[in-house]
Amino acid sequence: MSDCIFCKIVAGAIPARIAYEDEHVLAFHDISPQAPVHVLVIPRRHIATLNDLAPDDAGLVGAMTLTAQKLARDLVVDGTGFRLVLNCNADGGQDVFHLHLLGGRRMKWPPG
Catalytic center residues: 100
Q: Can you tell me the distance from the alpha carbon of 94 to that of 24, in angstroms, rounded to the nearest whole number?
A: 21
